[in-house]
Amino acid sequence: MIAYYTLMVSIAVLLGPFLLLKRRARYGMPQKLGVIPDAIKDKYSAANACKPIWFHAVSVGEFNAAWPLLKRLHEQHPQQSIVISSTTGAGHALAQERASNFAECIYFPYDLPWATAKWLDVLNPKLVTIVETEIWPGFVHQCKQRNIPIAMINGRMSPRSFGSYYKMRSFFGPVLRDFHMVGVQSSSEAERYKKVAGESLPVQVLGNIKFDGLEPISKEEQEELLIKLNLSLNDQVIVVGSTHEGEEAAILNAYKRLKVTKRTHLIIAPRHPERFDRVADLIRLAGFRPRRFSENEKFEQEGNVYLLDAIGHLAKFYSVATVAFVGGTLAPIGGHNIVEPFTYSVPVIAGPHLHKTKDVAEALLSRNALIVVNDEKELSQQLERLLENPELRQQLGKHGHDWLKESQGAVDRAMAMIESLVSLNQSVFQKIETAGDRR
């Protein structure tokens, strides 16, 4: 561990000045370095302070994955203190927006001994829960020294990342074995974790918790959104979610290739907030007029492209989609949530780079519920095909929706796992009800 910390300190010294020049890296810098606000110190040092469960969700995707479990935990155990940490500014902002009424939202410290120690000393959590795969050896080691149980939920290890972990299994294996429980999304992931850390690793297949949070908005909310956008039920809408550099240009070019664009509208939701203005410029360069969510604008005439320049709203926008394209797949990112549109039985197109969501993609392909394209030309062709064929859209959307419903239930299993590791604080009313049940 001394060698690891020496490496981390050296990296911090060498890269620190360059990181300070990047806006994204500066978010939450004091907290990341172990500077803890006085209000948090006072709250958790109080004599009657409740020991929290600390959830770490590095960014927006991880927070969205944990959100159904966080809601369930708070609903069933409202007296249980919860801390949610993020690394990115967008992840922290989303956590604050959705969970600050019942959880303390902080920035996760750098894996430097003084930074992690200060936070663990102040919070003294009863359980640390890592969302997906954020393995920081120093942090895990300090939890073990303090006898703080540490668990993983929604754990994933793609075939590509498995190769890296397996090569370094002599290092990561012992770190993983310090986890009290590793809850993973699929049996394939369970096997990969065991190959890295050994057959004795305590692994449970929970399923993907993110799927449990995929519930449709009400018909009234959908109608309100259509009115807000100035759309009708007869309009065809292409919703493009979680895009990266290069993908917006590709979708705009594909959109221009469509033979019929009348009453066919395009909505683009970039993955990262710092790119919103950049994408607005790309829309203009492509010959369209951007209409922005942040400015409360709507479709007004042909040639408009809607820019969803806000975090946390994409899921409900799929409710008005005729066809969806999920980003991070034409760009070599590895894929984002290709299941989300199936909440509304919307057919999904993705690019070829699906290594981060390989198991899900293969399951959907086996059910004939996903279309994969290699470039913008194929993307335009498949958009045209789906827009002209309502029967095909219905078939693909239904297959994906059926698979989604079959795959839900992970929150129940995750709650059972947490309850097996620690005792949860109950309200007075819950204790009375529990006592009454026993009688």
Tens digit of pLDDT for each residue in 37-64? 999 999 999 888 899 999 999 998 899 9
Region 6-11 average pLDDT: 76
pLDDT at 346 > cutoff 90: yes
Q: What is residue 433's predicted lDDT score, i.e. its pLDDT?
A: 43
pLDDT at 160 > cutoff 80: yes
Q: Report the distance separating Cα 408 and Cα 148, nearest Å.
A: 30
Region 26-44 average pLDDT: 91
Q: What is residue 4's predicted lDDT score, i.e. its pLDDT?
A: 83
Q: What is residue 432's predicted lDDT score, i.e. its pLDDT?
A: 37
Long-range contacts of 185-192 (CB under 8 A, 24+ apart): 185/154, 185/155, 185/156, 185/359, 185/410, 186/359, 188/359, 189/155, 189/156, 189/157, 189/359, 192/157, 192/159, 192/162, 192/165
Q: What is residue 260's predicted lDDT score, i.e. its pLDDT?
A: 67
Tens digit of pLDDT for each residue in 221-242? 999 999 999 999 899 999 999 9
SS3 content of the chain, % helix, strand, coil (to 5): 50, 15, 35
Q: Are 376 and 251 in contact (CB under 8 A)?
A: yes
Region 276-288 average pLDDT: 97
The continuous run of DSSP H or E covering 218 comes out as: none
pLDDT at 425 > cutoff 80: no
Q: What is residue 284's predicted lDDT score, i.e. its pLDDT?
A: 97
For the chain, list the domains and their CATH numbers: 2-155 (3.40.50.11720), 219-406 (3.40.50.2000)
Token pair for residue 79? 């007296």
Q: What is residue 18's predicted lDDT score, i.e. its pLDDT?
A: 65
Count of beta carbons in the 10 Å neighbourhood of residue 63: 28
Q: Are 300 and 228 in contact (CB under 8 A)?
A: no
pLDDT at 354 > cutoff 50: yes
Q: Are 253 and 305 in contact (CB under 8 A)?
A: no
Count of beta carbons in the 10 Å neighbourhood of residue 389: 13
pLDDT at 16 > cutoff 70: no
* DSSP SS3 for 235: coil
Looking at 124-168, list the stretches that DSSP marks H as alpha helix, in order from N- to C-terminal side: 137-145, 159-167
Q: Are 341 and 242 in contact (CB under 8 A)?
A: no
Which residues, in sequence order, are bridge partners of residue 54? Answer: 83, 128
Looking at 215-357, list the stretches that DSSP marks H as alpha helix, in order from N- to C-terminal side: 219-229, 247-257, 276-285, 314-317
pLDDT band at 437 (very low <50, low <70, confident <90, very high): very low
Tens digit of pLDDT for each residue in 84-114? 999 999 899 999 999 999 999 999 999 999 9
pLDDT band at 21 (very low <50, low <70, confident <90, very high): low
Share of the chain above pLDDT 90, in %: 81
Rounded to the nearest integer, the mean pLDDT of the chain is 91
Task: Indicate the range of 255-259, 289-293, 351-355, 417-421 predicted with least confidence.
Answer: 255-259
Token pair for residue 401? 């929706």
pLDDT at 428 > cutoff 70: no
Tens digit of pLDDT for each residue in 387-415? 999 999 999 999 999 999 999 999 999 99
Q: What is residue 301's predicted lDDT score, i.e. its pLDDT?
A: 86
Region 300-328 average pLDDT: 95
User: pTM for the complete prediction?
Assistant: 0.78
Instruction: Find all residues with CB under 8 Å of 43, minimum gap 6, and list them.
Output: 49, 104
- Residue by residue, DSSP assigns 334-363 as ----SSGGGGGT--EEE-S--GGGHHHHHH
Q: What is residue 9's predicted lDDT score, i.e. its pLDDT?
A: 75
Q: Nearest CA to 59 among 24, 86, 39?
A: 86
Q: What is residue 61's predicted lDDT score, i.e. its pLDDT?
A: 87
